[in-house]
């Protein structure tokens, strides 16, 4: 149960004054649904203003407060031209206040001729004249009435304004209670951090490194603690001892010998499955490392021990691919494998459900559908989750914690997670690493080209398709926005252009398509009917089209290295030599260049991930949202890499040496788990 002290923070957002039904939608776009969400919607940056009396004292580019007297209004001759308000300061210097579009309406109301007004905005120069374009604030009285000297700038959505969010943040802060300290006193003293309440208030008020670090640390600490509690709890759970007989595995006729890494992973997994507490293990392996056979061996062990196994894939297409390849690989063993997706209805579905219940189906492959309440198993012993990063932690825990006896869980991921982050993302699991690729893989020829050679590149793609092979074209991300709509617009524009050249050979797939349409587009490409797959970054991980041997990635510098590596892994899956063209913009920083060079020189996902973290953690964030990918929304990547070891150690000490949540500090820590929505461990503690 959530500690009562947090109730005011978990109230609906419309319990704040001035927040009505009209605002709820734009707020939901920013995921602001409860009061606490506003607290943790921290400013992106701050504008610092200076009050000046005389324009001569101000610098061009500076943010100022100034009292100005309105001289006259000038509308433009052309309808789309700017609307200008000519003003003067006290000594008589002229400053133009400029508006574009509908904003002129506001200008007429706020700045009547002859009136004296306080204006806040950025001073610019245009045609030798001083001007302020779209002032941040205009007020009648004094500087104090308008904005602040240091004004937070929040991320907005349409229909919201800075003062609106700032007002909500102020109210939310008034409701923030004093909370007992959860950080280990030694750490707190050494870092000189403020209390949580002071920190959250300070983080909204101005640049404050200590406040920001403390809040980041809270997030890392809560995350580590939650995962450790899940792990501890799991050890106490009742599982099923699954001891394989070897009967089925002996019949398996693989077309290749297993790599050393595969053998080692299989040994680790089967040892876990033979223990009485449920396995929680992550199999990490680069694209193409051969995770599927490892999963198959584990599933066969379950079947040998008279249990069933389920393999969960994030999309229907991937489920189908797994089903096909498992049936082929396991044909000689005689095990019964079924496919179950959300699309199966009626008789077909009924008969699969029967088979799962009476145990005639040994292995089921599918999407979420395999865990619906209506699906009952005779004896589910092992759950394999493929591409597990597509499922959130809470989802992954929920899936496996149904039923009286917890099945063993094997999660698989191709995301090369840097060592420092494995604990943060998967701290509740043991890890097996496939750090060796099957022999004979060819390196992918990777080249970096400037974007302005687009015409040549399209022509090269044309020659490639003419030779009978297929290609991917990953569309640009839109610079300076974080809007999926803008990215989509860019993708559609590129697709339209490519379609002129390639006609129906080109197919477009993006994240906003309905899942059936997305699957249909992917399927057309997989079958070879479409030759060029134009896509936003949603190209499904794990999609396997060996005939696709060319990949073009636009604005490659906007991607994380790990992400580029994942994308590149879509090619190089057949026997033909593959190529990856990274198109970069002309203005590229030194770090940006270095990163793309790395892509040329390394094909090792783990190496790239470590480098990426180092380079990005060093301060430069290119095109990727903070550390959101790593599951953190408050801590920046730089803070993650700097603070994570301490936070992990702190959580560990609490759990292993101080008695966990029952201790005095544990009580306080329990609060932060709920506050930061990492209450998984507490939930399972209660349930189990």
Q: Which residues bind ligand ADP (CB under 6 A)?
A: 256, 258-259, 262, 285, 287-293, 414, 438
Task: Give the one entry of ligand ADP, Mg ion, none that residue 476 binds, where binding means its C-beta sits below a cut-off of 5 to 8 angstroms depending on kind.
Answer: none
What is the distance between the alpha carbons of residues 444 and 578, in angstroms, rounded to a whole number? 5
| Smallest gap from residue 413 Cβ to ligand ADP (A) | 10
Q: Are the C-beta atoms of residues 390 and 425 closer than 8 Å to each other?
A: no
| Smallest gap from residue 297 Cβ to ligand ADP (A) | 11
Cα distances (angstroms) measured from residue 40 to each of 3, 25, 204, 329, 668:
19, 18, 9, 49, 19
Minimum CB distance to ligand ADP smaller for 88 or for 251: 251
What is the distance between the alpha carbons of residues 676 and 218, in angstroms, rounded to a whole number? 8
What is the distance between the alpha carbons of residues 3 and 43, in angstroms, rounded to a whole number? 27
| 82 sits near Mg ion (criterion: CB under 5 A) | no
- Report CA 344 to chain centroid distance, whole Å: 30
Minimum CB distance to ligand ADP smaller for 96 or for 292: 292
Q: Are the C-beta atoms of residues 652 and 187 closer than 8 Å to each other?
A: no
Task: Give the one entry of Mg ion, ligand ADP, none that residue 552 binds, where binding means its C-beta sits below a cut-off of 5 to 8 angstroms depending on kind.
Answer: none
| Smallest gap from residue 598 Cβ to ligand ADP (A) | 21
Report the half-sphere exposure of 353 (CA within 13 A, side-chain side): 16
Task: Give the one entry of Mg ion, ligand ADP, none that residue 359 binds, where binding means its C-beta sits below a cut-off of 5 to 8 angstroms depending on kind.
Answer: none
| 475-504: contacts with Mg ion (CB under 5 A) | none
| Smallest gap from residue 259 Cβ to ligand ADP (A) | 5
| Smallest gap from residue 540 Cβ to ligand ADP (A) | 12
What residues have CB less than 8 Å from 235, skipping those under 6 apart?
277
Minimum CB distance to Mg ion smaller for 6 or for 295: 295
**Residue 4 DSSP label:** G
Minimum CB distance to Mg ion smaller for 337 or for 673: 337
Query: What would the x/- binding string for Mg ion be over residues 102 to 121, using CB under 5 A?
Result: --------------------
What is the distance between the alpha carbons of residues 405 and 241, in angstroms, rounded to a whole number? 11
Q: Are the C-beta atoms of residues 614 and 418 closer than 8 Å to each other?
A: no
Minimum CB distance to Mg ion smaller for 429 or for 434: 434
| 418-447: contacts with Mg ion (CB under 5 A) | none
| Smallest gap from residue 410 Cβ to ligand ADP (A) | 13
3-class SS of residue 361: coil
Which residues on adjacent β-strands are paired with residue 131? 96, 124
Task: Give the one entry of Mg ion, ligand ADP, none that residue 288 binds, where binding means its C-beta sits below a cut-off of 5 to 8 angstroms depending on kind.
Answer: ligand ADP
Minimum CB distance to ligand ADP smaller for 570 or for 584: 570
Kindly indicate which of the ranges 179-187, 304-312, 397-405, 538-546 contains the residues binding Mg ion, using the contact rule CB under 5 A: 538-546
| Smallest gap from residue 569 Cβ to Mg ion (A) | 10
Task: Give the one entry of Mg ion, ligand ADP, none that residue 523 binds, where binding means its C-beta sits below a cut-off of 5 to 8 angstroms depending on kind.
Answer: none
Minimum CB distance to ligand ADP smaller for 176 or for 266: 266
DSSP states of 304-327 as a string?
HTT-EEEEE-SSHHHHHHHHHHHH
Task: Give the one entry of Mg ion, ligand ADP, none that residue 293 binds, where binding means its C-beta sits below a cut-off of 5 to 8 angstroms depending on kind.
Answer: ligand ADP
Residue 546: phi and psi, rounded to 5, are -60, -25
Minimum CB distance to Mg ion smaller for 296 or for 423: 296
| 542 sits near Mg ion (criterion: CB under 5 A) | yes
What is the distance between the alpha carbons of residues 63 and 60, in angstroms, rounded to a whole number? 9
Q: Are the C-beta atoms of residues 481 and 488 closer than 8 Å to each other?
A: no
CA-angle at 583, arms to 577 and 589, nearest 5°: 130
3-class SS of residue 430: strand
| Smallest gap from residue 21 Cβ to Mg ion (A) | 45
Minimum CB distance to ligand ADP smaller for 563 or for 627: 563
**Residue 110 DSSP label:** H
| Smallest gap from residue 513 Cβ to ligand ADP (A) | 24
Kindly indicate which of the ranges 12-20, 236-244, 269-277, 536-544 contains the residues binding Mg ion, using the contact rule CB under 5 A: 536-544
| Smallest gap from residue 569 Cβ to ligand ADP (A) | 7
- Report CA 115 to chain centroid distance, whole Å: 50
Task: Give the one entry of Mg ion, ligand ADP, none that residue 135 binds, where binding means its C-beta sits below a cut-off of 5 to 8 angstroms depending on kind.
Answer: none
Kindly indicate which of the ranges 43-51, 193-201, 534-542, 581-589 contains the residues binding Mg ion, using the contact rule CB under 5 A: 534-542
Token couple for 151:
């004004």
Kindly indicate which of the ranges 65-73, 102-110, 542-550, 631-639 contains the residues binding Mg ion, using the contact rule CB under 5 A: 542-550
Q: Are the C-beta atoms of residues 536 and 491 closer than 8 Å to each other?
A: yes
| Smallest gap from residue 544 Cβ to ligand ADP (A) | 6
Burial 77-105, CB ≥16 within 10 A → b, else e = eeeeebbbbbbebeeeeebbbbbeeeebe
Minimum CB distance to ligand ADP smaller for 223 or for 578: 578
| Smallest gap from residue 360 Cβ to Mg ion (A) | 27
Minimum CB distance to Mg ion smaller for 309 or for 424: 309
CA-angle at 156, arms to 126 and 201, nearest 5°: 105
What is the distance between the alpha carbons of residues 230 and 429, in angstroms, rounded to a whole number? 9
| Smallest gap from residue 244 Cβ to Mg ion (A) | 23
**Residue 602 DSSP label:** -
Token couple for 279:
């396995």
Minimum CB distance to ligand ADP smaller for 100 or for 256: 256
Residue 635: other Cβ atoms inside 10 A: 27
| 416 sits near Mg ion (criterion: CB under 5 A) | no
Of all residues in the shown chain, the one whose CB is closest to ligand ADP is 290
Kindly indicate which of the ranges 69-77, 347-355, 541-549, 598-606 contains the residues binding Mg ion, using the contact rule CB under 5 A: 541-549
Q: By rule CB under 5 A, what count of residues binds Mg ion?
A: 1
Minimum CB distance to ligand ADP smaller for 541 or for 640: 541
Q: Are the C-beta atoms of residues 421 and 613 closer than 8 Å to each other?
A: yes
3-class SS of residue 520: helix
What is the distance between the alpha carbons of residues 159 and 540, in angstroms, rounded to a whole number? 33
| Smallest gap from residue 528 Cβ to ligand ADP (A) | 17
Minimum CB distance to ligand ADP smaller for 63 or for 262: 262
Q: Which residues bind Mg ion (CB under 5 A)?
A: 542
């Amino acid at each position: 149960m959530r500690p009562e002290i947090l109730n005011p923070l978990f109230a609906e957002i419309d319990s704040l004054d001035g927040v009505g039904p009209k605002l709820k939608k734009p707020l939901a776009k920013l995921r602001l649904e409860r009061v606490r969400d506003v607290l943790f919607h921290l400013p992106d940056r701050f504008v610092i203003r200076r009050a000046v009396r005389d324009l001569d004292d101000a610098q061009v580019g500076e943010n100022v407060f100034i009292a100005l007297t309105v001289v006259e209004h000038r509308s433009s001759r052309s309808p789309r031209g700017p609307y200008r308000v000519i003003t003067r300061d006290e000594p008589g210097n002229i400053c133009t206040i400029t508006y574009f579009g509908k904003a002129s309406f506001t200008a007429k109301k706020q700045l009547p001729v002859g009136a004296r007004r306080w204006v806040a905005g950025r001073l610019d120069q245009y045609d030798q004249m001083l001007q302020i374009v779209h002032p941040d604030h205009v007020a009648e009285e004094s500087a104090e009435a308008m904005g602040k000297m240091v004004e937070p700038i929040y991320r907005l959505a349409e229909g919201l304004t800075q003062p609106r969010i700032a007002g909500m943040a102020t109210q939310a802060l008034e409701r923030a209670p004093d909370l007992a300290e959860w950080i280990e006193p030694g750490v707190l003293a050494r870092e000189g951090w403020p209390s949580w309440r002071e920190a959250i208030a300070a983080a909204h008020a101005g640049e404050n490194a200590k406040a920001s670090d403390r809040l980041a640390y809270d997030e890392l600490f809560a995350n580590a603690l939650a995962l450790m509690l899940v792990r501890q709890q799991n050890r106490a759970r009742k599982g099923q001892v699954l001891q394989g007989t070897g009967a089925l595995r002996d019949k398996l006729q693989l077309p290749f010998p297993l790599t050393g890494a595969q053998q080692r992973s299989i040994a680790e997994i089967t040892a876990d499955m033979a223990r009485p507490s449920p396995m929680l293990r992550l199999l990490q392996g680069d694209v193409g490392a051969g995770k599927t056979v490892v999963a198959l061996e584990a599933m066969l062990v379950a079947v040998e021990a008279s249990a069933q196994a389920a393999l969960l894939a994030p999309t229907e297409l991937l489920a189908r691919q797994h089903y096909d390849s498992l049936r082929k690989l396991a044909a000689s063993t005689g095990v019964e494998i079924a496919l179950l997706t959300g699309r199966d209805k009626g008789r077909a579905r009924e008969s699969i459900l029967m088979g799962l219940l009476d145990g005639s189906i040994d292995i089921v492959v599918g999407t979420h559908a395999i865990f619906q309440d209506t699906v009952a198993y005779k004896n589910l012993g092992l759950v394999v989750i493929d591409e597990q990063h597509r499922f959130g932690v809470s989802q992954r825990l929920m899936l496996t914690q149904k039923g009286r006896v917890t099945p063993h869980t094997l999660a698989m991921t191709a995301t090369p997670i840097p060592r420092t982050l494995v604990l943060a993302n998967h701290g509740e699991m043991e890890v097996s690493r496939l750090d060796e690729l099957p022999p004979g893989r060819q390196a992918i020829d990777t080249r970096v080209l400037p974007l302005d050679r687009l015409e040549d590149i399209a022509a090269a793609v044309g020659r490639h398709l003419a030779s009978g092979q297929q290609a991917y074209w990953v569309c640009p991300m839109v610079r300076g926005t974080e809007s999926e709509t803008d990215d989509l617009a860019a993708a559609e524009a590129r697709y339209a252009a490519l379609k002129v050249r390639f006609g129906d050979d080109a197919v477009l797939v993006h994240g906003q398509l309905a899942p059936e349409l997305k699957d249909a587009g992917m399927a057309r490409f997989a079958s070879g009917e479409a030759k060029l797959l134009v896509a936003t970054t949603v190209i499904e991980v794990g999609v396997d089209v060996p005939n696709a041997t060319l990949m073009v990635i636009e604005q490659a510098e906007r991607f994380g290295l790990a992400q580029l590596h994942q994308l590149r892994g879509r090619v190089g899956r057949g026997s033909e030599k593959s190529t990856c063209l990274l198109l970069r913009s002309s203005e590229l920083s030194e770090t940006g260049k270095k990163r793309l060079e790395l892509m040329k020189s390394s094909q090792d996902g783990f190496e790239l991930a470590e480098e990426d973290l180092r380079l990005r953690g060093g301060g430069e964030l290119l095109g990727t949202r903070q550390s959101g990918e790593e599951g953190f929304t408050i801590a920046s990547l730089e803070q993650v890499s700097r603070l994570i070891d301490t936070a992990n150690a702190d959580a560990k000490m609490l759990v292993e040496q101080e008695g966990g949540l029952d201790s005095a500090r544990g009580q306080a820590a329990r609060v932060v788990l709920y506050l930061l929505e990492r209450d998984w461990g507490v939930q399972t503690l209660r349930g189990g």
